[in-house]
Amino acid sequence: MKQNLPRILIGLSILLLFLANTAGLIHLGAIDRIDFALYDARLRATMPRTLNPDIVILDIDEKSIEEVGHWPWGRDKMARIIDKLFDVHKVELVGFDIVWAERDPSSGLAHMDELAKNELRDVPAFQTQLERLRPSLDFDRAFADSLRNRRVVLGYYFTSELGGRTTGTLPEPVLPEGTFKGRPIAFTVWNGYGANLPELQKAAAGAGHFNPIEDDDGNVRRVPMLVEYDHQYYESLSLAVMRTLLGSPGVQPGFPEESWLRRDFSGLVSINLPAPGTNTSVRIPVDRNVTTLVPYRGPGGPTGGSFKYISLSDVLNDRVKPGELTNKIVLIGTTALGLNDMRSTPVNKVYPGVEVHANLIAGMIEGSIRTMPDYALGAEVMSLLVVGLLLAFALPFLSAVRTVILTLIVTILVVGLNLLIFHYGVVLPLAGTLLLILAIFVLDITYGYFVESRSKRELTGLFGSYVPPELVEEMSRNPRDYSMEGRSEDLTVMFADVRGFTTISESLDPKALAEYINEYLTAMSVLIQKSRGTIDKYVGDMVMAFWGAPVADANHAQEAVNTAMAMQAEVLRLSEGFKARGWPVIEIGIGLSTGTMKVGDMGSKIRRAYTVMGDAVNLGSRLESKTKHYGVGILVPEPTKKAVHGIVFREIDRVQVKGKDEPVAIFEPVGLEADVDKSTMDELKLWHQTLKAYRAQQWDQAELQLMNLRRMSPDRGLYKVFLEAIAKWRADPPEANWTGVTKFTDK
């Protein structure tokens, strides 16, 4: 835990940074931009891309302008269009994504009024004729008359300009001043407007603003359903159309139910419109700013496939098929580039503004508007906490591969859950959590590379010359678990020495001797490292190694004994090659010892080494020197034998080596149990009986059995050693309490 504390603290610091951004204490703009991109991707992936059958867009397109003339057209033409739509085509409702803020001068009535007041004021015939013609020349009145008693919803806009300029007449507010007193709701507030002529507004069934909200990247994703002007509240064009369809019911604010998630939230969560003749309401979800996400159906435009587009000139010129507009909601807007009503949206950078409202109306009718709920902030905080704490505390303890796997799993779960919630109409932030995952992952990996790789390099420098590469790799995964500081451990040590090396060195020239010893040491070192042994040192032709450190190995004795037998077999192979090259054959003696030893970086200020020390180490060295005396290749003490399984041992003797007060039973590993044949086992049985008779001072019986053993294995020097010992004891009998221990005074 302690060694991973810096990485944990880094992860927690990143988490706090993201929490501060979510709480509004700091602002990381990149998160907002990425969240926009992720929302857009989800939206595009889930758009229905189907034609809505209820709404038709009458388009003031390039064709209409070419046929009828530049926009705006005379109000007399607009009056004829309204009459055709309701009387001929039987439309359900007409909504204008257009504002009629100025009077229509196209009839010339205004000019004739000027003449009547000035040059022709004294001409009674002109005055009489003007009054008779006035109704037919007042195109604004004609247009207003066409709107009256019909479901026509006008559009207008709000502005925020210095001085708050206003034109035209606003409709009645849908909610009066004081409706939301005591509730800190972040309405969009305006100080000016451009509205319709008073007579048009009075004649229309309703009106709504067509101001969208442009996010920081310039895209339109939301439209405010209610806005505030002069402390009163006005509806959007889409909301006005929906209310008119429902018979103009009053707007009912939807406040959240009390819950632990919403304990401190007092804003709006929806706008409700009572459905006539039922006990239900049309619920339009809104966010903290009382805006609604636009449920885009497709890429937009006349070829986008979301709504049917008809040129407005086709209506004026009676080219629309009968029944094509019957019972339809008709929105009149423009796609002509010169009229500047194209928007940038998540689904298309050039998108007709009128279709934004069409999508909202369709979403209200179908109930397909997604919501960014009031608890989105709390949900994001919870997501950041769960993911951040998990990764901050988990990644420092994992390997690189497992770090990648866990990060991928968490990412998939976060994205999958978010997409599932999105499918059910709820939009929750995603970028913050994904960026948090990425930031913790990258910094954790970076820390591991720049900091822990340094520890691994140091570890490799410390141990690379002692232990095999695979052990260094294993140690490098947790470098802080290993050090060169001295400590006591239960280990197995080995000493292997070439017999008669002085004679060998005298028979070879220096170059050949170097090749001879290098080839031998290389072969032995390979076997030691292959069995997870640590090479302590070379002293001339002697190799010292140990097992069980620096990497713990519960089977260190087993590994050491197996390696010793493999080394003896390898020496036989080397000798064949040496003989072929005219070099002396090689024989080695190996002593092993298992027990508690001091292991670590030891030495002087001038030179130090990673080595082992202790009585058990000294015993291993003594046993190596006694292999030649007993004529065996390997000697191990009883603790080593007891720690090994699957190997047949021959007990050699009980010895008291120099520097030890207590006698030690020593053994020779004969071979693996599966490999030792019956004749060898019979010989071992006879030998152990002989050893028993020897220790009982039954010299005649022991001598007879030794002679039989020599006939079985004439080359085994061990039997000769004990025959000589019997002869010695006959000449100089041991003490009465002798237990068969052989004492050595030399090393």
pLDDT digits (tens, 9 = 90+) for 244-253: 999 999 999 9
According to DSSP, residue 120 is labeled T
Contact 407, 391 (CB under 8 A): yes
- pLDDT for the residue 261: 47
Q: Residue ranges of the chain with pLDDT lower than 50?
A: 261-263, 482
pTM beyond 0.75, yes or no: no
According to DSSP, residue 371 is labeled B
Cβ contacts of 197-201, under 8 Å, gap ≥ 24: 197/100, 197/101, 197/102, 197/103, 197/140, 197/144, 197/168, 197/169, 198/168, 198/169, 199/140, 199/141, 199/144, 200/100, 200/140, 200/143, 200/144, 200/147, 200/154, 201/154, 201/168, 201/169, 201/170, 201/171
Domains recognised in the chain with CATH numbers: 10-46+390-459 (no CATH), 55-366 (no CATH), 484-659+666-671 (3.30.70.1230), 677-747 (no CATH)
d(CA 363, CA 380): 26
d(CA 133, CA 197): 22
The identity of residue 155, as a single letter, is: G
pLDDT digits (tens, 9 = 90+) for 333-352: 999 988 889 999 999 999 99
Strand (E) or helix (H) holding 274: strand 270-274
pLDDT digits (tens, 9 = 90+) for 91-121: 999 999 999 999 987 665 665 666 667 766 6
Contacts of 306 (CB under 8 A, 6+ apart): 49, 50, 51, 52, 296, 297, 298, 299, 300, 355, 358, 359
d(CA 358, CA 288): 23
Q: Which two tokens stand for residue 404?
A: 């990648």
d(CA 411, CA 378): 20
